[in-house]
Structure 1
């Protein structure tokens, strides 16, 4: 199997049908918040590969991926059942959407985009910058980290999935408050881009990752 074999350190529930997969950091692996890896594994002797964006603000001995579990999926349920000591393979990091810990940020997330959004906000607050998280999901994940961000002075909006009016209002309120990042599926990030422009910003300046 291609990629670097890494050990699973832990798998923990972080929300409804969502787990955080903590993996051993490979030698010379140097990733920034916003980047992603290609994870390879072989459930039922069939090699599968999926991209996952990092959800830890830094990489030391371990790094984290947030995995939404599709009960009908061929890889995510298997990942959710991993035990410490199991092995998966990773390639990367990849991606030009990064946070260099050098400015205030506005991180907008839909569904599984919460992982990288939280990691970028945590990296910002840890280095003395302001952070805003706008997160749209009926069943939020990483609520403990969102509460910790608020305690550290970040502004956090958690919105229901059908509340596009509140999403528009939050983007209008914070469009000038820092570098805008957006993570989520295609329809969500298109809506975010449209609302940035409607609020007087420039969506071409936003750093947007479309999960497909």
Structure 2
């Protein structure tokens, strides 16, 4: 059962791309959450009008502090204000944590393949952070599809390297200098080597726009993955 609405106090805003931000809030009484979960965020106007949207949690639980990833959508009702208009020190309301299927738990020991498209990397980043904090020995791979190098979220975190984590960045419109892969949509060939490392075990987490998630899921099944081992989260 979803929790009641709680007050959330914005304490920090950090840029990720030209239009994407990570927002840190303190939420009194926050019960904690699992890597991969999300929350609903509700804004209330001076006239009483309310609007709510769902946003993924970008980091593991840290007391009463939560971090959200927000991509400003042109003509959006909520995201542009959260991304750039909400003053640090202001309050919103949040409800959650929500979702218990698309989650990674530190006690899981099987290999993991994460596949993210654009801002779909946000909940996967929470899993990567939780994996590092737990010093888990499980093998982690991230395949991250972005339009251009400027659209790369969490560049410092995902580029610094760590034990048991491999990152493969695929560009769809303009590749980074030195990239050996021509820009283009993710294909079965892009996933083949990563899937073979799973050796039939473990879990695949896929997050991104609906068309991206459906294409990746189809590729994974074509490569022999059991659909029951594929967990998806989609938007748009």
1:11 aligns with 2:13: yes
> Contact 1:105 / 1:121 at 8 angstroms: preserved in 2?
no
Is the partner of 1:15 in helix, strand or coil?
Answer: coil
The equivalent residue for 1:56 is: 59
Cα separation, 2, equivalents of 1:169 and 1:21: 35
Structure 1 gaps of 5+ residues are none
What is the total number of aligned residue pairs between the two structures?
A: 209
| Aligned equivalent of 1:181, options 183, 196, 205 | 205
| Aligned equivalent of 2:88, options 80, 84, 91 | 84
Shift in Å at residue 186 of structure 1?
Answer: 0.8
CA displacement 1:162-209 (0-9 Å, x = unmatched): 6235x4233221225331101111101001110111111123321111
Q: Which has the larger radius of gyration?
A: 2
Aligned pairs for 1:108-187 within 5 A:
108-127=115-134, 128=136, 129-138=138-147, 139-148=151-160, 150-161=161-172, 163-165=184-186, 167-175=187-195, 176-177=197-198, 178-187=202-211
Structure 2 gaps of 5+ residues are 174-183
The equivalent residue for 1:191 is: 215
> Contact 2:30 / 2:64 at 8 angstroms: preserved in 1?
no
The equivalent residue for 2:177 is: none
Shift in Å at residue 210 of structure 1?
Answer: 1.5
Shift in Å at residue 155 of structure 1?
Answer: 0.5
Aligned pairs for 1:86-101 within 5 A:
86-96=90-100, 97-101=102-106
TM-score (norm 2): 0.81
> Contact 2:11 / 2:26 at 8 angstroms: preserved in 1?
yes
Is the partner of 2:16 in helix, strand or coil?
Answer: strand
Cα separation, 2, equivalents of 1:28 and 1:75: 23
CA displacement 1:120-141 (0-9 Å, x = unmatched): 1222233223211111111211
Is the partner of 2:168 in helix, strand or coil?
Answer: strand
- Alpha-carbon RMSD across the aligned residues, in angstroms, is 1.9
Shift in Å at residue 151 of structure 1?
Answer: 3.9
TM-score (norm 1): 0.90
Cα separation, 1, equivalents of 2:113 and 2:50: 37
Is the partner of 1:112 in helix, strand or coil?
Answer: helix
Cα separation, 1, equivalents of 2:45 and 2:17: 24
Cα separation, 2, equivalents of 1:47 and 1:105: 39
